[in-house]
Each structure stands twice: as structure tokens, then as C-alpha cells.
Structure 1
Amino acid sequence: MLRRKGNLQSLAGLLDIPQDIVMDLPRITMLGNKQLLVENHKGIIEYTPSLVRIKLSQGELMIYGEALTLGNLQSEQILVEGVVQEVKYDI
């Protein structure tokens, strides 16, 4: 399995393809503490105004904060808005 990942990383580098696409990795973009965009996710596990848990290909992403809302829900991306206080990636 590790060898396959190494081969995929090498191939991505040679072809100048982003590794998140080749290796099924999430792309997480944060704008201050007001917005967090998660691309390449596998679904929402839990949603409350103080916690959003998102399933990833390897583990989950936990977003803690205040007045959290979900916007721009698409099959491949989720926009979390509100006051983001902590982001935790659990494998």
C-alpha cells in the first residue's frame, strides 16, 4: 500500500497533477476564522451550531466554533461559515 502511494505521488509530480486529486486527499481552505472550505470529502457525520464533523477518505475533520452553518453543499465540497475556533484532523 505504501509503495502504491509513493508511485502515485511520483506520477503526480511528473505529470504536474495536484496530489489531492491523484491520492484522494481533502483540500482544506480557511479564510480567517470565518469560512472553511473542504473539498473532496465523503459526507457529513454530524452537524450542530458548535461542531461539524466531516468524513474524509482517511479519518475525519472536526470543526469547532460558534454559530456554524453549512453553505454551498455540493457532492465534492462543503463550506462551513461562522466563528471557527478549532480544526482537528483525526486519522
Structure 2
Amino acid sequence: MNSKSYKIKEKISDALELPKDITLDIPKISILGTDSVLIENHKGVISYCDNQIRVNTGCGVLTVSGQRLTIKSIIQEEIIITGNISNVSY
């Protein structure tokens, strides 16, 4: 999405008070302590191992790093990652 298109969608979202994560196709990430990450509005898993999980999103690749990582749940709208999480980054 180009910058102009993004700005227009952002203004419409603000004017109509719509959630930006839905209207702008960006992820909503919730981190619960050091043992759980919820990623909403994802585009799929790119790679998965016990110390790093990479998830495609509308604004880049999200990397969750740690130890004993597992995907507890994955559905079209969200992914729940559990384990000893040390880092979440783009």
C-alpha cells in the first residue's frame, strides 16, 4: 500500500472511529508477561522452530524469539505463541 493510500485510509478510519488494525490491515499484538504472545490479523507463519517463530503481517515480518516456543493456537484471525519469550521484533 502506498503512502497516500495509507493516509486516506487512516483519515477515514479516524473519522468513522473504526479500529485501525482492521481498516489498515495492520496486526494487533498482545504480550502477556514473558510466556504468551497473541498476534491478530496475521498473514501466516513463515518459519517455526523451538527458539524462533516468524509470522508474516501487513507491515512486515514479526519475529518472536525465546526458548521452548510453541504455537498453542492458529486460526485465520489470530496466532497464540507460548513459551519463554525473550524478544518480539520486526
Give the shorter-chain TM-score range. over 0.9
Q: Which amino acid aligns with 2:12?
A: L
* CA offset digits 1:21-69 (Å, max 9, x no partner): 1110000000011100001111001111100000112320011101101
Q: Which amino acid aligns with 1:63?
A: V
2:69 match:
68
Instruction: Provide the rounded CA distance (Å) in 2 between the counterparts of 1:11 and 1:48.
Output: 40
Instruction: Provide the rounded CA distance (Å) in 1 between the counterparts of 2:87 and 2:32.
Output: 13
- TM-score, structure 2 length as denominator? 0.94
Q: Which amino acid aligns with 2:13?
A: A
Please list, as runs of the form range in 1=range in 2, the aligned pairs for 1:42-53 lying within 5 A after superposition: 42-53=43-54
1:84 match:
85
Q: Which amino acid aligns with 1:26?
A: P
Task: Identify unmatched segments of 5+ residues in structure 1.
Answer: none
Residue identity (%) = 31
What is the Cα deviation at residue 2 of structure 1?
1.4
CA RMSD of aligned residues (A): 0.8
Equivalent position SS for 1:47: strand
What is the Cα deviation at residue 14 of structure 1?
0.9
- Structure 1: 4+ residue segments shifted above 2 A: none
Instruction: Provide the rounded CA distance (Å) in 1 between the counterparts of 2:36 and 2:63.
Output: 14
Instruction: Provide the rounded CA distance (Å) in 2 between the counterparts of 1:38 and 1:6.
Output: 24
Instruction: Provide the rounded CA distance (Å) in 1 between the counterparts of 2:3 and 2:54.
Output: 27
Residue correspondences, number: 89
- More strand per residue: 2
